[in-house]
Amino acid sequence: MPQNVTIKLPIPPRLNIGLAAARERNLEWMRQQKLVLGRRATHRYIFSAVADLAAYSYPDAEGDDLDLAFDTMGWFFLFDDLFDVPEGCKADAAVDVCQQLITLVTHPSQREINHEEPLVSAFADLWRRARMGMSEEWQQRAAHNWMDYLTGNLTEEVDRRTWIPEDFATRMRVGHRTLGLIPSLDLAERVGHFEISQIIWHSSHLESMRRASVDAVKLINEVMSLENDDARGDPNLVRCLMRQHNCSREEAIKLAITLAQKTVSQLLEQIKLVPLLCARLGLKSSDAERVQRYATALLTWIRGSYDWSRSNGRYSQRTASALSPNMTGQLHPANLTTVSR
């Protein structure tokens, strides 16, 4: 069972002490946004514990900041689930929502945006709250990163329709966009009430650090979600490794874990050079501290994604069984976090 796989990470685990209360507030927000309606959908959402990821990834956030993090994580997974359609079907509804979201980010005043669609109106609320107190530079960067995430999902849908097996490198490349980690790291600045300057954010060194963190989180996520992907017939990096290395499933899982651990080690070495980077750029101590906080956010996300993956219901054996067509006589039942309308 991949969820029980142990991955040794030299990063201390952390958990936000406000988890329980934030979980309740998040559920109320999901109901207000019409994303979770009815007893069955509520039970599924609570069981999946998708929004709990915020407690692992933003352990220091409090109050409204923690609520923003929880609501964003909950939204992420419901949006992602919209693309989970039966094998051989097209996710036309997801594509339509995605295109509306792109319009919302790029042209927020456009009248054709359908705010009656819950995922669109909910995102509008999140985007409004996320921008509060942040500089125009940060807002432009965050909008660009959301755009990359959204268009990446369109890329993934088009690739899914071609039915061509992805190789490892291609899935990792697309995964850098669709994982949603880059917007989530922007959110780390927002809920942490700090910003790193544009020139630092765009440096090759920080880009390499971000790439390493995305690689690590992506590899961990692919291992933990393997049984769900197997049940749905969705692509997964583990199966890419099986084809590429002509190895067994178990061997491919071990290889993915080794790659994740190696990537984390590389990231730790890169973080050691952050003080030198800041010194050569002549940053003030306050600016250098913000860069260090950003580096910490990368590590926190890696460890948080792993700890959350091992505890949530989304990647449990129960969920994988419910998704399997052999268990229901249908192609693919709704994911345990799918919105009930």
- pLDDT of 1 reads 56
Q: How far apart are CA 329 and CA 326, in angstroms?
A: 6
Query: In sequence order, which residues have a C-beta less than 8 Å from that of residue 144 and are 6 or more positions away?
Result: none
Expressed in angstroms, the distance from the first to the final Cα of the chain is 32
- pLDDT of 257 reads 96
Quick one: which H or E segment has residue 243? helix 237-245
Q: How far apart are CA 202 and CA 189, in angstroms?
A: 15
Quick one: which H or E segment has residue 234? none
3-state helix, strand, coil in the chain (%, to 5): 70, 0, 30
- From first to last of the 341 residues of the chain, give the pLDDT tens digit: 566 789 999 999 999 999 999 999 999 999 999 999 999 999 999 999 999 999 999 999 999 999 999 999 999 999 998 988 777 788 899 999 999 999 999 987 665 566 679 999 999 999 999 999 999 999 999 999 999 999 999 998 888 888 666 788 888 888 899 999 999 999 999 999 999 999 899 999 999 999 999 999 999 999 998 988 887 777 889 999 999 999 999 999 999 999 999 999 999 999 999 999 999 999 999 999 999 999 999 999 999 999 999 988 888 666 645 554 443 333 222 333 433 32
DSSP state letters, 183-215: HHHHHHHHHHT----HHHHTSHHHHHHHHHHHH
CB atoms within 10 A of CB 4: 8
CA distances from 119 to 30, 167, 311 (A): 10, 31, 26
Q: Contact, 66 vs 54, CB < 8 A?
A: yes
CA distances from 75 to 22, 31, 52 (A): 15, 12, 12
- pLDDT of 58 reads 98
Q: How many residues does the chain have?
A: 341
- pLDDT of 112 reads 54
- pLDDT of 114 reads 60
- pLDDT of 319 reads 65
Tokens standing for 118? 């819950």
Phi, psi of 248 (to 5 degrees): -80, 170
- pLDDT of 277 reads 95
- pLDDT of 147 reads 97
Angle at 200 between CA 197 and CA 206, to 5 degrees: 135
Name the residue with tokens 């952050």. 274
- pLDDT of 338 reads 39
- pLDDT of 20 reads 97
